[in-house]
Amino acid sequence: MASEICKTISVARLEKHKNLFLNYRNLHHFPLELLKDEGLQHLERLYMKRNSLTTLPENLAQKLPNLVELLGLFSSLGWYLHSNNIVVVPEAIGSLVKLQCLDLSDNALEIVCP
């Protein structure tokens, strides 16, 4: 599975995809391949619903500055993180100045930074 994810991310990097679908991949950790180099600076939408993520990286905004969407299930404007196990939302999320929607529903949130 890990090599399949790396391949998917590599293709997205090479072809400068604006959307990346990593739903239903049984991910327990945020794929560090997404934060490698500068190749995914153009990424606008990241879909990661129904995984087993517990944390988000602090350098997310620095590495993926153009994210508009980071959602979980139903919205067309956000980051798709629905149905994971995320406990803490890092303060760095606030640095994603283009982010329009963030869906963290059905997670294990304990701390959400202001």
pLDDT bucket at 14, cuts 50 / 70 / 90: very high
Give 77 or 16, the one with higher predicted confidence. 16
| Element spanning 103, H or E | strand 101-103
User: What are the chain's domains?
Assistant: 1-112 (3.80.10.10)
Q: What percent of the chain has pLDDT over 70?
A: 89
The pTM of the whole model exceeds 0.85:
no
CB-based burial of residue 53 (10 Å sphere; 0-12 exposed, 13-18 middle, 19+ buried)?
buried
- Residue 1's contacts (CB-CB under 8 Å, 6 or more residues apart) are 25, 26
- Average pLDDT of 71-100? 71
pLDDT bucket at 19, cuts 50 / 70 / 90: very high
SS3 102: strand
How far apart CA 3 and CA 62 sit, in angstroms, is 25
How far apart CA 104 and CA 89 sit, in angstroms, is 9
Name the token pair of 109. 């949130």
- How does the average pLDDT of the chain come out, rounded? 83
Beta bridge mates, 71: 80
Looking up tokens 């879909």 gives 47
- Residue 87's contacts (CB-CB under 8 Å, 6 or more residues apart) are 54, 55, 107, 108, 109, 110, 111
pLDDT bucket at 85, cuts 50 / 70 / 90: confident
pLDDT bucket at 93, cuts 50 / 70 / 90: confident
Question: pLDDT (tens digit, 9 = 90+) per residue, 35-73?
Answer: 988 779 999 999 898 899 988 888 888 899 998 877 543
